[in-house]
Structure 1
């Protein structure tokens, strides 16, 4: 995911503020795209959320892969939010590719098929030229100026992947409490071993293409996005590791907005690289964790980027779902 809080609201010595500054500086040095491929396992997200057909899902746009994977559940709408315009341009490129390119063209565009990368005139570049007329103007202008990234293989152009390739060995002495997991992550990111996880399977692709227009992109902070949403209008929340970029107070405020905008029985997935996420005492009657499922999903996760997963179900005030009115629920058709 890509999000940040107001730097003025966080003390300069705060480690979260330091992480944000390093993140932004790394992006400036290595390019505009932080994440070119998801560091979340789409299978984990789908199993945690259990999306039902016709539901409204909110997620972080990031590299676009999770939003696209969610289309396989036949949702009414997937709202993908991000503060980074380049990440949204990447997500829109992938969304449009799903709508207009065949599966092999999609893989070629991203540099995920053998021989798709090259030095000019590659299959990746050819796929982009075929897709180019279908792109929105701002997205087309962005990628027209970065054809070298497409030619080199988009899945390998994110700052995280490039840092892992260039400086991965230097990070291992600072891996902290999980050196084996960190080493595994660096190997997977650097050599592309997890790339197939971020690309739709051929069997799912036709359904994704027919639903591509249900993935709606929104530029901004996820908290601001939720404040603009009506009460009871969202069924599922895929929050990635947004909490890692927020102060505890910011995380608690976000959860309060989740509760307000959640439909009865809504499900929430949040991840963290830093810590186990806690629900504030004032919301514990409304947000019920599923610790057994969390442990199962974390153990089976194929990417293993996160140290903790938090799966929550939103309860009504009387645990019967009466907090949202029938009219509000029925209006979401």
Structure 2
């Protein structure tokens, strides 16, 4: 496992500062990173225009979007990932959708994710159906000796690299006598902005925060490697960039419909009956998700390696998340060669970048890139609509002809 992660993020000699940071990130990224994926599946599904004939191939990450795509009724979904923890989480979610007895138990397991009932449900319904890779992962112990499945009793969304980062951010805020949960009590979007500007925005002017966010390692918890840190910062100080992204999350979308904001400011989903949830956890979609869960094929592989084993013209929807931000030019070209070879007529590719512009021009050879049409106006619209608010750009390409 370590060598395939290192292959994706390490581009410098170990003795250099950049090399040390890359190796530190690779080490941090070996375990669970995202208990919840941070790309908006509603935006994804609009951009991808999934049909009943679609074969979607996506990086798995936390699995929320994989199951959410089922609500669009594709023929099949292939979820690939190099992170064994993410593979185990995706298999857990798939089996839970197939085996838990009702919506109430499914919602409790993944929307509340902090009940002793979840462990009983795991033993009775999920454990017997997990494969010999996922079961040992969940029944094994993490670096501090806790059984991994116990995260669904103690609070799954407080675990993983991202959960730890959000918890640390809450702790730092409280040192300045700020409780991010205050935002969740806002009655409307006007009040959201007032609370943000009065309580949260000033923290980015603190000297310690400016110094802390100038350290690339400080954003490892967001899953941002050193190369992506530089792209995200651009010509600005990182504190200013983070303030703008947090302002979008806090102010640009109604919190009653933005579960990403509940995760960021509340460290979990809301408990009220109409709390915002990912599509796969919404009661209206429960029947579709459970009936179609067997359409998902979960693979421990990189996107490029998996595509290299597929026939020509066999896939028509690709979701790359932000993985390309981590790649060097050779890796990027190899990926787009395989995408182009395996793409059916009308295929669509969706990805995100830390910086605003698409990273493909000038890096992918023109003869290859010219086979694809970039949907510039649509990409700007999708970027504005993405409720996670963490990315600079959401980009859509489609195969010409």
With normalisation by structure 1, the TM-score equals 0.82
Alignment of 1:144-223 (within 5 A): 144-145=139-140, 146-167=148-169, 169=172, 173=210, 174=213, 175-183=238-246, 188-189=263-264, 191-192=266-267, 196-197=277-278, 199-223=280-304
C-alpha distance in 2 between matches for 1:27 and 1:7: 11
3-state SS of the aligned residue for 1:240? coil
C-alpha distance in 1 between matches for 2:120 and 2:244: 37
Aligned pair partner of 2:28 in 22, 26, 30:
26
- Unmatched runs of 5 consecutive residues or more in structure 1: 320-333
Assess if the C-alpha contact under 8 Å between 2:87 and 2:300 holds in 1: yes
1:254–1:19: structure 2 CA closer, same or farther, 3 Å change rule? farther
- Unmatched runs of 5 consecutive residues or more in structure 2: 141-147, 174-203, 214-237, 250-259, 270-275
**Bigger CA radius of gyration:** 2
Structure 1 residue 45: Cα displacement = 0.8
Per-residue CA deviation, residues 266-324 of structure 1 (Å, 9 max, x unaligned), is 00101112452224322232110111111111111111121111100012xxx3xxxxx
C-alpha distance in 2 between matches for 1:93 and 1:294: 33
Structure 1 residue 213: Cα displacement = 0.9
- Give the structure 1 partner of residue 183 of structure 2: none
Structure 1 residue 98: Cα displacement = 1.0
Does 1:308 pair with 2:389? no
Aligned pair partner of 1:295 in 360, 380, 389:
380
1:181–1:247: structure 2 CA closer, same or farther, 3 Å change rule? same
C-alpha distance in 1 between matches for 2:97 and 2:10: 39
Runs of 4+ in 1 over 6 A off after TM superposition: none
Structure 1 residue 92: Cα displacement = 0.3
Q: CA RMSD in A?
A: 2.7
Q: Say how many residue pairs are matched.
A: 305
Assess if the C-alpha contact under 8 Å between 2:41 and 2:68 holds in 1: yes
3-state SS of the aligned residue for 2:50? coil
- Give the structure 2 partner of residue 77 of structure 1: 76
With normalisation by structure 2, the TM-score equals 0.69
